Amino acid sequence: MFKSRMLALLLILVFTVGCAGGGTNTSLASVSGVVTDENGKPISNVRVAISGRVTYTSDTGTWEFEGLSPGSYTVYARQDGYVDNEIYVFLASGHTTIDIKLKESVTEMAARIIFSSVRSGVSNLFTMDAKGEYVAPLFDPFSDHYDPAWSPCGTMIAYSVLSPGFDNLTNIYVYDLQTKQSWQIAWHGNSYNRYPSWSPDSTKLAFSSDRDGESDIYVVDVYNPDEPQRVTNSFASDWYPRWSPDGTQIAFISTRGGNNDIYVMAVDGSNVRRLTTDQASDAYPTWSPDGTQIAFISSRYIRNEVYVMNCDGSNQKRLTNVGANAYYPAWSPDGEQILFVSALEGVNAIYFTDLKYQSKGRLTDLSYPATSPAWSPIVEVGTF
């Protein structure tokens, strides 16, 4: 009897040890799944990581990890062209299945706005997004900076700088956003040089200068600025040039008809044509992105309002009824908005009128005056 009991106990002990030492450890966890796109299509070669371990999905989108201790984990999935995905999961003993979906990434594109504002005793240049948010200074200036113009290539900004101690001496500079370097473009003794406007290929600037007496329009090579070309030569004042999107014309303001009117000409100064003939002042032209229209400011109904016309001067019509004088219209690169400046609420601020949704609003706060808005081209968000 005693021997039989000892034999039975020995068999039980052997069986228990065998199960503990030679079988599968069911206290560990494993996890697997399939990575698909939003339409359920499997994605291969996706990098999947968990707790420092990495694997890549198969041709059918499958992946698996074994031998994990039970607990909380984050599963990371990454693949070029898709938005990264993170899944938080608690793994119990045994096997868990997790399917992961990746959303195809779409590069966010947007335009920014640059403007001039007095916020620390002098006029500086600031940038903001199209909603008036994320305002950032461009410089820490010692003198006033005006008239910003963003290059069509997106990497440079032209602007005017008032020389300290000289009320009428202004020079034009170009600032490279990538190298953070600037260089002088237009300087000529005791003259004003203002209102730069870029050629569509970002190699030339048109600007106004009174270096030869009356204000005239000049064109200069950005990379060889020593010899600007004078393209107007009238006894009147010609100023505020604006290059057309196709690069063939320049719109500008001239008093050659007796008061401020808008003219266009070829870039070499030939073929000058008058677009506005109203007895009121018509000024500050800005081209639509497709070059078919020009927005401008006119005082033909008591105060300055924003108007638009076809590029040949036809179909002139009022766009705004602000209730206060408006200045400096700037057409957005997508053609859907026009910015303008007004002291409607007591301080010069930047407003918008939305051509698509017929809405209007203010972009800058009233703590500081803001003026001279200009758009960047549409670029990938975060580029500058």
DSSP states along 340-356: EEE-TTSS-EEEEEETT
pLDDT of residue 108: 67
pLDDT of residue 304: 96
16 membership: H or E segment, kind and range: helix 2-22
Claim to verify: residue 38 and residue 73 sit in the same structural domain = yes
Claim to verify: residue 80 and residue 114 sit in the same structural domain = no
- 375: β partners: 113
Please tell me the distance from the alpha carbon of residue 42 to that of residue 36, in angstroms, as a whole number. 4
Claim to verify: residue 199 and residue 332 sit in the same structural domain = yes
b or e along 21-39 (b: 16 or more beta carbons within 10 Å of the residue's beta carbon)?
eeeeeeeebebbbbbbbee
Domain assignment present for residue 17? The answer is no
Domain assignment present for residue 21? The answer is no
Q: Taking the CB of residue 315, how many other CB atoms lie within 10 A of it? A: 9
Please tell me the distance from the alpha carbon of residue 110 to that of residue 164, in angstroms, as a whole number. 36
Q: Do residues 55 and 63 touch, judged by C-beta distance below 8 A?
A: yes
CATH number at residue 63: 2.60.40.1120
Count of CA atoms in the C-beta half-sphere (13 A) of 282: 28
Please tell me the distance from the alpha carbon of residue 280 to that of residue 313, in angstroms, as a whole number. 15
Domain boundary among 77, 102, 127: 102
CATH number at residue 343: 2.120.10.30
Domain assignment present for residue 1? The answer is no
Claim to verify: residue 87 and residue 133 sit in the same structural domain = no
Please tell me the distance from the alpha carbon of residue 92 to that of residue 252, in angstroms, as a whole number. 74
Those residues of the chain that have pLDDT short of 70 are 1-26, 106-108, 165-167, 189, 381-384
Q: Do residues 187 and 193 touch, judged by C-beta distance below 8 A?
A: yes
pLDDT of residue 382: 62
Q: What Cα–Cα distance (Å) separates residue 43 from each residue in 58, 82, 95, 107?
A: 8, 10, 22, 20
> 162: Cβ–Cβ under 8 A, 6 or more apart, which residues?
123, 143, 144, 145, 146, 169, 170
Claim to verify: residue 81 and residue 117 sit in the same structural domain = no
Q: Do residues 366 and 347 touch, judged by C-beta distance below 8 A?
A: yes
Claim to verify: residue 370 and residue 273 sit in the same structural domain = yes
Claim to verify: residue 356 and residue 324 sit in the same structural domain = yes
Claim to verify: residue 69 and residue 187 sit in the same structural domain = no
Claim to verify: residue 267 and residue 335 sit in the same structural domain = yes
Helices (H), strands (E): how many in the chain?
Answer: 1, 34
Q: Do residues 284 and 238 touch, judged by C-beta distance below 8 A?
A: no
Domain assignment present for residue 146? The answer is yes
Claim to verify: residue 72 and residue 114 sit in the same structural domain = no
Please tell me the distance from the alpha carbon of residue 75 to that of residue 67, in angstroms, as a whole number. 15
Q: What Cα–Cα distance (Å) separates residue 284 from each residue in 82, 89, 138, 238, 371?
A: 45, 60, 24, 12, 13
Q: 182 — phi, psi (to 5°)?
A: -130, 155
Domain boundary among 102, 122, 148: 102
72 in helix, strand or coil?
strand
What string of H, E and C letters represents the secondary structure of 317-340? Answer: EECCCCCCCEEEEEECCCCCEEEE
Domain ranges, residue 49: 26-102
pLDDT of residue 33: 96
pLDDT of residue 307: 97
Total of domains in the chain:
2
> 292: Cβ–Cβ under 8 A, 6 or more apart, which residues?
310, 311
Strands 261-266 and 273-274: antiparallel
Claim to verify: residue 128 and residue 239 sit in the same structural domain = yes
Please tell me the distance from the alpha carbon of residue 226 to that of residue 207, in angstroms, as a whole number. 14
* 0.85 surpassed by pTM: no
Domain boundary among 81, 102, 123: 102
Claim to verify: residue 41 and residue 67 sit in the same structural domain = yes
Residue among 278, 244, 246, 245 at smallest CA distance from 260: 278
Domain assignment present for residue 98? The answer is yes
> What count of residues does the chain have?
384
pLDDT of residue 110: 84
